[in-house]
Structure 1
Amino acid sequence: MQKLKSKANAKANANVKNSAITTNKRLYTERQKSHFLVHSVACLGTEVHLAACPLEFNKGNSSTGACEDGMPAVVSCVAGPLYTHNVALKKKLKVSKNVRLKGGTHTAEGRVEVMRGGKWGTVCDDRWNLQSASVVCRELGFGSAKEALTGARMGQGVGPIHMNEVQCTGQERSIWSCHYKNITEEDCMHTEDASVRCNTPYMGYEKTVRIGGGRSRYEGRVEVLQALPNGTQRWGLLCGDGWSTKEAMVVCRQLGLGYANHGLKETWYWDSSNVTDMVWSGVKCTGSEMSLTQCQRHKVFNCQKAVARFSAGVICSETASDLVLNATLVQQSVYIEDRPLHMLYCAAEEDCLSKTAAQANWPYGHRRLLRFSSQIHNVGRADFRPKLGRHSWVWHACHGHYHSMDIFTHYDILSVNGTKMAEGHKASFCLEDSECQEGISKRYECANFGEQGITVGCWDLYRHDIDCQWIDITDVKPGNYILQVVINPNQEVSEMDYTNNAMKCSCKYDGHRIWVHNCHIGDAFSDEVERKFEKYPGQFNNQIMN
């Protein structure tokens, strides 16, 4: 066995050596060329691309007088931490924890967010340019900036705006080292959030997956390129079992087709192609992967319905919605109500009470409800629409309304260690535009079986006095808890960013009254501050939130 290992190592070393010799020979040959198109390049190192550097063109066909004693320039590039498989190099190439990109379809694009005092905030787009954007890209381990975007092109942020009129020379290691101004609400709004698209190494991810059979290039059955034992390759379908929006997100990203509108488990209505065999099953992604090959899947193919009509499919879109809950309104509107059982028959039918309500002495007695208002804003770039068309909505006679989604929000009371102590849910019986930003018209209204949705720049308000807008806390004992609200919890509808769908608050309940404070969007703070909040919700330092 030891001899076999030694031979294998020797062979590997020989391959590396031969590869190095071949590379050196090629570079040596290239360096012998005497014809140069460009010479006398004098970059400062802060330019966003080579064409921005001072340089001279060789106008003639001869190299005489141009780089007479010089040789061809050679560069050696190192991929950023997200693109290298070398573990040691990944640890060495650390990226900043004080800057992040949000809302983009790719890992190297998005709304620029920076951290100050443990809080994430956005950057105003006044005087935003490629030079400043390149500092952000390099700080995050990418190349220079391809585009410096303005006008919230990657969706609007939530919370503070930390920087305005950022001016970088290009030499800075961090955007925080650039000159900038602090702002007030009068100076800038989230409709002016700055974004970037960074240059990245070409990885060829799109060569191993494709979609076909749909009405456009944005939809179709998913096909992957599989390597066979005999050294050949073939295209095959994916089993639709367990396929969801998360997996579809990866496919759309991998193909450069934007966001995932739907991840489909059945594709019988699309034209069949020459590919009919399934090759993968059990594909599970987190949604952040750059390629399907980075997701988990069955080692041995196992599919209940291994026929083409039940293969996985996607519908992609260049834009998507982005829902965010108004955390401040939750904190301001929360209260406890002891509601008589005889007023809760409809709510019980809709499963809006805790399980112990079934054993209650109906219609006598009451349930203790934690009530609050929720205002859900669409800050994305596309309207939020229910996954199902209205032909599939379910009529609920008791309340006299249609359900367009099974679950629209989760309402939970969690213990300090994350155990669910009480829960509620809100079926999206009426998704509509309650109010809109100035200059934006309402498009959705539930009356008369109208279309449901939330327009970009508008919000849907569920008042605290509406049925099911509560958590049944009848069985909750006094103590410190976390109130958690999650919008679109099953990710049934496409969004630009799912990390801002959760809201958390500190709760203190003494058996009679409840105090709710420190309400915030789940990704609004640094990991360190968030861990401290979850560990000590009742005693969390309120100064951090201010």
Structure 2
Amino acid sequence: MRPVSPWQWSPLGLLLFLLCCSCMGSPSPSTAPEKKAGSQGLRFRLAGFPRKPFEGRVEIQRAGEWGTICDDDFTLQAAHVLCRELGFTEATGWTHSAKYGPGTGRIWLDNLSCSGTEQSVTECASRGWGNSDCTHDEDAGVICKNQRLPGFSDSNVIEVEHHLQVEEVRLRPAVGRGRRPLPVTEGLVEVRLPDGWSQVCDKGWSSHNSHVVCGMLGFPSEKRVNTAFYRLLAQRQQHSFGLHGVACMGTEAHLSLCSLEFYRANDTTRCPGGAPAVVSCVPGLLYAASSGQKKQQQSKPQGEVRVRLKGGSHPGEGRVEVLKAGTWGTVCDRKWDLQAASVVCRELGFGSAREALSGARMGQGMGAIHLSEVRCSGQEPSLWRCPHKNITAEDCSHSQDAGVRCNLPYTGVETKIRLSGGRSRYEGRVEVQTGGPGPLRWGLICGDGWGTLEAMVACRQLGLGYANHGLQETWYWDSGNITDVVMSGVRCTGTELSLDQCAHHGIHIACKRTEARFTAGVICSETASDLLLHSALVQETAYIEDRPLHMLYCAAEENCLASSARSANWPYGHRRLLRFSSQIHNLGRADFRPKAGRHSWVWHECHGHYHSMDIFTHYDILTPNGTKVAEGHKASFCLEDTECQEEVAKRYECANFGEQGITVGCWDLYRHDIDCQWIDITDVKPGNYILQVVINPNFEVAESDFTNNAMKCNCKYDGHRIWVHNCHIGDAFSEEANRRFERYPGQTSNQIV
């Protein structure tokens, strides 16, 4: 599509155009635009979400109907003209593809072409008013300089400070109905306007409106509410109404995207015959207001989960992954928007989406990309119900993985925990608030058993992301006036939203070391690493080697053989070794660094370099029922960047006492032919087994996700040969597929000799 230029006009039209230009002279920029006849009858405003008062989707009212502008051929010059129409001095940027949300109604202008010096948008070339082949997914927006034109006063501009500026919503519980636990799920709707909090008139209030409000507050759905009580209550109270005429379709991610009408400041007839709008929301499973609700919801049959979030540092955010044919994969960010993101959030038990993230903002996935060009209306119960395009490897890459940030209910858990004594707000001794019938008090947590998983929960509760370290001794941090230990025996899985949800001792405190110096501490971080094993490489490189004992002296010194090797007839005989390569990728958003500092690294003479981690990976052979029959006694590891993705530079290497670690976007390769990269299976009897590899098994180093640290393979050993197949990351399959995990290879397995 191209703009209509004067050179495409008829000869008569071109002559008139030239005569007009000669009369007008060359236009020049103006700081106070003069009213032109062409702009009479037009009104302008900024709309959409999220935005500031000087940016948004451009909307024009013509003939009493509001409409938008298509982004085809839109430029910064056109944005300059529109910003001046809105009373700003100039534009600093413009947006395309409905960044502030799709509008409604007509698309008034398409192929808008301005030089930037026009005094009115009517002077710019276009396809003509109302002539467009665009959709609202192509609505244009502007970002104006936050500086007003001097003396600008134009009744044709709807003041953006008061238009669509509902940026926050809350529910106020009814007075006299008892103290409600958090989160608040029912109450009077209040919106924050520039002049404070106001209530909303319930005239014409619909379930669609309630659905949008609940989504903003972090709840996936709404339910009917008994308004009789609230109407009776309204007769006894005074109310301040600031908003009426709310009309949502129910698909909006934010109330600002609905059609809204605000009361004028001097309007004395506010909400006649009406009452404050009331909403009741249904919390997701994670946020059920009481244990009774949670048990009731859990008792309902749950279908297989087909959507999940990975890599987020806070609840309700992460890379979107979907389940297809029993395998998890990612979603391409093409055409990814708030509607699709909101479907994901509600499906997972959160509210609507705050942000639809693109460009792998939550880290890159690994493996399949299942969906692309997902187009949701916002009403779908699942992302899989939205129209989408199946994808091939050539269509998209993991650098385009889509993500979301969801609205969450306010639970107040962050007010029950704090840090003290640290050098920054991200570290310190953990203090928690406890108390039952008596007064609330702050106290410390016993350091016994406190580790990375417990620290992860504490950092999540604090809203500080991940845990770099969980500390059992905090003598170097001043505890201030708090010295009492009020919680002990804390054991977390790492997924809890607060320490209260972890197992811990009750009223009786049991702590081996009661001094304040031995209490729990954390060091938190907004980012973390995420290690993942390349499972296909294990399957491709596995083989058996009968290695003579005289070649294994170094390995024996490093305890890389089974215990029976000690009684072997050295140097005669051999050991049977299952060898394979392991390639460990860091797909997180922070480098993986060993927990130990250089001062405690160990020099290994056989390998000729320092090892920074004693336990980095476990190699095991298991029976189908999980009994361990052999293990790789790899003594310790040296971490380095063997290879990296394009445009990622290596940072770590083992040679010459170099820094050790794995950079984001790089991987550490342990080749099958190096010492100790094996499992000694000399004593293993023929049978069906599982080969299991676990990275960072003791959670010594923080990661954003520990569920993908294990890899499993089926293997069949007949005493001479071994077959290895079906290697996969522990959480790459669905739960059902994992339950069906084969215990022996089929006839089509790759035979490894």
The alignment's TM-score, normalised by the length of structure 2, stands at 0.67
Alignment of structure 1 residues 370-381 onto 2, 5 Å: 370-381=578-589
1:36 aligns with 2:241: yes
Following the alignment from structure 2 to structure 1, what is the Cα–Cα distance between the partners of residues 747 and 365? 25
Following the alignment from structure 2 to structure 1, what is the Cα–Cα distance between the partners of residues 476 and 285? 42
Following the alignment from structure 2 to structure 1, what is the Cα–Cα distance between the partners of residues 238 and 322? 47
Following the alignment from structure 1 to structure 2, what is the Cα–Cα distance between the partners of residues 20 and 293? 24
1:146 aligns with 2:390: no
Q: Residues 468 and 50 of structure 1: is their aligned pair in 2 closer, same or farther, counting only changes over 3 Å? A: same
1:114 aligns with 2:272: no
Counterpart position of 2:278: 74
Following the alignment from structure 2 to structure 1, what is the Cα–Cα distance between the partners of residues 313 and 478? 28
Following the alignment from structure 1 to structure 2, what is the Cα–Cα distance between the partners of residues 317 and 489? 21
Q: Residues 448 and 93 of structure 1: is their aligned pair in 2 closer, same or farther, counting only changes over 3 Å? A: same
Counterpart position of 1:11: none
2:453 is matched with which residue: 240, 246, 258? 246
Alignment of structure 1 residues 467-486 onto 2, 5 Å: 467-486=675-694
Is the contact between residue 281 and residue 301 of structure 1 (CA under 8 Å) also seen in structure 2? yes
SS in 2 for 1:206: helix
Counterpart position of 2:712: 504
CA offsets 1:289-337 (integer angstroms, 9 cap, x no match): 0010111112321211111111111110000111111111111111101
**1:396 Cα deviation from its structure 2 partner:** 2.4
SS in 2 for 1:519: strand
2:603 is matched with which residue: 382, 395, 398? 395
1:19 aligns with 2:177: yes
Q: Residues 369 and 415 of structure 1: is their aligned pair in 2 closer, same or farther, counting only changes over 3 Å? A: same
Is the contact between residue 613 and residue 638 of structure 2 (CA under 8 Å) also seen in structure 1? no
Counterpart position of 1:255: 462
Is the contact between residue 34 and residue 63 of structure 1 (CA under 8 Å) also seen in structure 2? no
Counterpart position of 2:62: none
Counterpart position of 2:414: 206
1:514 is matched with which residue: 722, 727, 733? 722
1:190 is matched with which residue: 392, 398, 401? 398
Following the alignment from structure 1 to structure 2, what is the Cα–Cα distance between the partners of residues 540 and 288? 40
Q: Residues 540 and 383 of structure 1: is their aligned pair in 2 closer, same or farther, counting only changes over 3 Å? A: farther
Following the alignment from structure 2 to structure 1, what is the Cα–Cα distance between the partners of residues 273 and 243? 14
**1:429 Cα deviation from its structure 2 partner:** 2.9
Is the contact between residue 221 and residue 311 of structure 1 (CA under 8 Å) also seen in structure 2? yes
Counterpart position of 1:10: none
1:131 aligns with 2:335: no
Is the contact between residue 531 and residue 584 of structure 2 (CA under 8 Å) also seen in structure 1? yes
Amino acid paired to 2:542:
V
Counterpart position of 2:731: 523
SS in 2 for 1:207: helix
Following the alignment from structure 1 to structure 2, what is the Cα–Cα distance between the partners of residues 425 and 195? 39
Q: Residues 51 and 404 of structure 1: is their aligned pair in 2 closer, same or farther, counting only changes over 3 Å? A: same
Following the alignment from structure 1 to structure 2, what is the Cα–Cα distance between the partners of residues 351 and 429? 13
CA offsets 1:194-220 (integer angstroms, 9 cap, x no match): 111111111111111111111100011
**1:19 Cα deviation from its structure 2 partner:** 3.2
**1:340 Cα deviation from its structure 2 partner:** 1.3
SS in 2 for 1:167: coil
User: Any stretches of 5+ residues in structure 2 without a counterpart?
Assistant: 1-174, 181-186, 188-227
Q: Residues 20 and 378 of structure 1: is their aligned pair in 2 closer, same or farther, counting only changes over 3 Å? A: closer
1:162 aligns with 2:343: no
CA offsets 1:59-112 (integer angstroms, 9 cap, x no match): 133342x64333221111121111112121444595761111112233322111
Following the alignment from structure 1 to structure 2, what is the Cα–Cα distance between the partners of residues 208 and 27? 36
Deviates more, 1:444-453 or 1:303-312: 303-312
Q: Residues 328 and 348 of structure 1: is their aligned pair in 2 closer, same or farther, counting only changes over 3 Å? A: same
Question: Which structure ranks higher in relative contact order (CA pairs < 8 Å, sequence separation ≥ 6)?
Answer: 1
1:270 is matched with which residue: 470, 477, 483? 477
Following the alignment from structure 1 to structure 2, what is the Cα–Cα distance between the partners of residues 540 and 168? 43
Following the alignment from structure 1 to structure 2, what is the Cα–Cα distance between the partners of residues 414 and 41? 62
Amino acid paired to 1:244:
G
Amino acid paired to 2:494:
G
**1:54 Cα deviation from its structure 2 partner:** 0.6
Amino acid paired to 1:295:
C
CA offsets 1:136-172 (integer angstroms, 9 cap, x no match): 1111111101111112222221211000111111111
Q: Residues 183 and 210 of structure 1: is their aligned pair in 2 closer, same or farther, counting only changes over 3 Å? A: same
Counterpart position of 1:178: 386
Is the contact between residue 413 and residue 482 of structure 1 (CA under 8 Å) also seen in structure 2? yes
SS in 1 for 2:454: helix
1:62 aligns with 2:267: yes
2:502 is matched with which residue: 283, 295, 300? 295
**1:35 Cα deviation from its structure 2 partner:** 4.6
**1:239 Cα deviation from its structure 2 partner:** 1.2
Is the contact between residue 615 and residue 637 of structure 2 (CA under 8 Å) also seen in structure 1? no
**1:400 Cα deviation from its structure 2 partner:** 2.7
Is the contact between residue 80 and residue 93 of structure 1 (CA under 8 Å) also seen in structure 2? no
RMSD of the alignment, in Å?
2.2
1:282 aligns with 2:489: yes
Q: Residues 396 and 27 of structure 1: is their aligned pair in 2 closer, same or farther, counting only changes over 3 Å? A: farther
Alignment of structure 1 residues 289-328 onto 2, 5 Å: 289-299=496-506, 300-328=508-536
